[in-house]
Structure 1
Amino acid sequence: MRHGPRLLPALLLPLALLPVGAQAFETKAREALVIDDGTGMVLFSKDADTPMPPASMSKLMTLYMLFEALRDGRVTKETEFLVSPHAQSMEGSRMFVEAGTKVKVGDLIQGIIVQSGNDACVVVAEGLAGTEATFAEQMTKRAHELGLAQSHFVNASGLPADGQVMSAHDLVRLARHIIDDFPEDYKYFQETEFTWNGIHQPNRNPLLKLGLGVDGLKTGHTAEAGYGLVGSAVQNGQRILFMVGGLGSEAERASETRAVVQWAFGAFDTVRFFDEGQQVATADVWLGTAPSVPIVAPTAIQMLVPREDRSGMTSRIVYRGPIEAPIAAGQPVAKLLVDVPGKDEVAFDLVAGSDVPRGGLMTRLQAAAQLTRARAVSYLPGH
């Protein structure tokens, strides 16, 4: 026995702040993208789907491939990779590895993230795939599997090369994958300095020490790409992801990225709907040992909302009920749908708060009897 979708009354949202016109945002960046990490909602976009030279920001894909190898058990952080003459010959930013020596994977991670070592990237590429060219092909294939449609790699480092491109959208999506897929390894992006081979180098991310909640990810610069940064910042439990590129100097990159973070958390309010585990509704159950099941939030549910649009947003809970047993605690059973003026509808999963086993023979007989009575009533003469 199934019924159509059941819509519960729209939730009333607390309006702690009066609507204020959100500041229009402008940036000197050639391309830029800012999103709310929790929902993927785009807060700002400028040429975000245009392929461009990603410079060292493409090292995020090299790191993703290495993090996958660690997760899959193909290597450990104690695994040592041999440094080739080709790796040592890399120009630009370097970790200063030496040909003929071996370097632990754990050190190479820091050499790539903190020191932006082009040489470290080649060591990883050759250690995982044999040659840098083969590794670049694998990077491109995996990137497309992750939905990075504008990405194509020719090398592991991001040094200038024909055909080495990514978009702002791809970089932000990749950053989101790294944070979600490898939370334990993501902590490396917060390190502000690293010393290798007696050479001390600071992290090139200019925002890490400014108290803005920035906890990653990667800068980049070449003459063609300009100065860029793909970053993440968290304030009040709310994360934004952003990318800016094509800027004219380190100072301009620092000022523009700082402006992005301040604008995103200044012009948008964090609206929390439910705390983790909070019951939000109750759904009827069909053929279960219990007549109903609580619907709860699997995690804290919140999002960034333009301050000027907060008073016009609505939300509703939708599920198809009654829900047929068996039901497992944590099983998605409903959606919280949020409408913000001028934005696409945002959906959050809601889950069952408890197990409801399927009932036995007596439960099924009682359900059949109820269904028979309901049908009999519906077909009485005059009805």
Structure 2
Amino acid sequence: MKIKKKYNKINKKIVKVLTTTFIIYSTIISANENIFDVISRPCINSKSYILIDYNTGTVLTEKNADKHQKPASLAKIMTSYVIGKAIKTGKIKRSDIVTISNNAWATGNPLFSGSSLMFLRVGDRISVEKLIKGIILQSGNDACVAMAEYVSGKQKKFIDLMNFYSKKIGLKNTYFKNVHGLDIPGQYTSARDIAILGQALIHDLPQEYSIYKEKNFTFNHIHQNNRNLLLWDNSLNVDGIKTGHTEIAGYNMIVSATKNHMRLIAVILGDKTEEDRKINSKRLLNWGFETFRTINPIKKNQKIAALPILYGRYGTVNIGINQNVYLTILKNQEKKIKIIYHISNNKIFAPVHKNKILGSMTFIINNHIVNTYPLVALNKVPKGNIVFCFLDYIRLKLNKWIHQ
């Protein structure tokens, strides 16, 4: 960059800071490239599965991840997501009381025969909070109907919301036709979409997600345990998410666990037995934690450097990235990352608005671009008074004359 003499010292400091930063944080790897192909993967016999890093979305391993499968009770994750959104926007409250209709009557509805239930009765008056727990912890199909009717008036309108949010969060191979996940023609999902849905639930609705780690729930003197058996596994720090099973779908599971500031999400679809889905989910999580780690090299709005400004009230503007940067790396590839920064213009003129993009930072490993983040102004720099502007104008003219 060619910069006026007044800022030569500042510019040298910028280069030094950026170079130092890049050396410190040259420890990253990414998603979406075939950088992980050299790794031996765990042997999983499920119809479909995927393992992702929650913070980066990096796919660590997968099989038939986009193939259509029946969701079974994993559909209830979207049901609870829609309910959580309704609470968040103030449409309903957790303390609201719901009157149970004939449609949500547990024992009087042939559709529910042999399925998981909260065991609601017509005319019962139950809080939204308890019905949510009935959906999440008891996997109650009857509770799903009760809440769908309370939120939207009719189940069809609630299902429309489920599909609306599916598109909004980026699910490409999912379509819901009921609120509980019981088998019905035309209803499907995929392992990748379920992982994305779990990721959205954790990020968007942390209070809703916190319920998923509870191990049991008692309603009307009926005690039921959470069907996520990995919640009782002391070798893993599992805090969710959900299981599902129907005759057509097989045994499904999405599970999330944390270790050393890293969160992984594993999805198993179409396993043969309840024990198989538990073992295979655990195998995926253990393999992921043993093979990878996630780092947060740059914090949101962390100052990376200061760039010179012309015609400004201040002489420099701080630059950084306006989001947390997470990167997933192989444990043996920490020194292979290269980081390249680019400043869009060699002269930056005031005024500069906060969050204005001034350049970019790119992470590379094994000649693959891992990710690129925009470098933005972290502070506003208004235009300076007439004296500062005149001095900068003179310096620019002198600088141009000297370098002719």
TM-score category (smaller protein): 0.7 to 0.9
- Report what 1:253 is aligned to: 277
Q: Pick one of 11, 16, 37 that aligns with 2:22.
A: 11
CA gap of 1:359–1:155, structure 2 versus 1, over 3 A, is same
Please show how residues 143-154 of structure 1 align to structure 2 within 5 Å: 143-154=166-177
- Report what 2:91 is aligned to: 74
- Report what 1:43 is aligned to: 60
Q: Deviation string for 1:253-305 (max 9, x for gaps)?
A: 11111111100010113344245665433333344322223345666644321
The code of the aligned residue for 2:102 comes to: P
What is the TM-score normalised by the length of structure 2? 0.82
Structure 1's unaligned 5+ residue stretches are none
Deviates more, 1:180-189 or 1:324-333: 324-333
How many angstroms does 1:355 deviate by? Answer: 4.9
**Corresponding position: 1:290 with 2:290:** no
How many angstroms does 1:93 deviate by? Answer: 0.7
Structure 2's unaligned 5+ residue stretches are 4-13, 28-37
Q: Distance in 2 between matches of 1:325 and 1:187?
A: 46
- SS of the equivalent of 2:170 reads coil
- SS of the equivalent of 2:68 reads coil
How many angstroms does 1:68 deviate by? Answer: 1.0
Please show how residues 1-383 of structure 1 align to structure 2 within 5 Å: 8-9=18-19, 11-12=22-23, 22-88=39-105, 89=109, 90-91=112-113, 92-211=115-234, 212-274=236-298, 278-296=302-320, 301-321=325-345, 324-326=349-351, 335-341=360-366, 345-348=370-373, 352=377, 354-377=379-402, 383=404
Q: Distance in 1 between matches of 2:2 and 2:207?
A: 43
How many angstroms does 1:189 deviate by? Answer: 1.3
CA gap of 1:292–1:126, structure 2 versus 1, over 3 A, is same
Q: Distance in 2 between matches of 1:121 and 1:367?
A: 67
Are the equivalent residues in 2 in contact too, given 1:22–1:268 (CA < 8 A)?
no
Q: Distance in 1 between matches of 2:174 and 2:367?
A: 29
- Work out the percentage of aligned pairs sharing the same amino acid: 30
Q: Distance in 2 between matches of 1:57 and 1:271?
A: 30
How many angstroms does 1:36 deviate by? Answer: 1.6
What is the TM-score normalised by the length of structure 1? 0.86
Output the aligned Cα RMSD.
3.1
CA gap of 1:33–1:319, structure 2 versus 1, over 3 A, is farther
Q: Distance in 2 between matches of 1:319 and 1:79?
A: 54
- SS of the equivalent of 2:50 reads strand
Deviates more, 1:296-305 or 1:138-147: 296-305
Q: Distance in 2 between matches of 1:38 and 1:68?
A: 21
How many angstroms does 1:94 deviate by? Answer: 0.8
Count of aligned residue pairs for this structure pair? 374
- SS of the equivalent of 2:22 reads coil
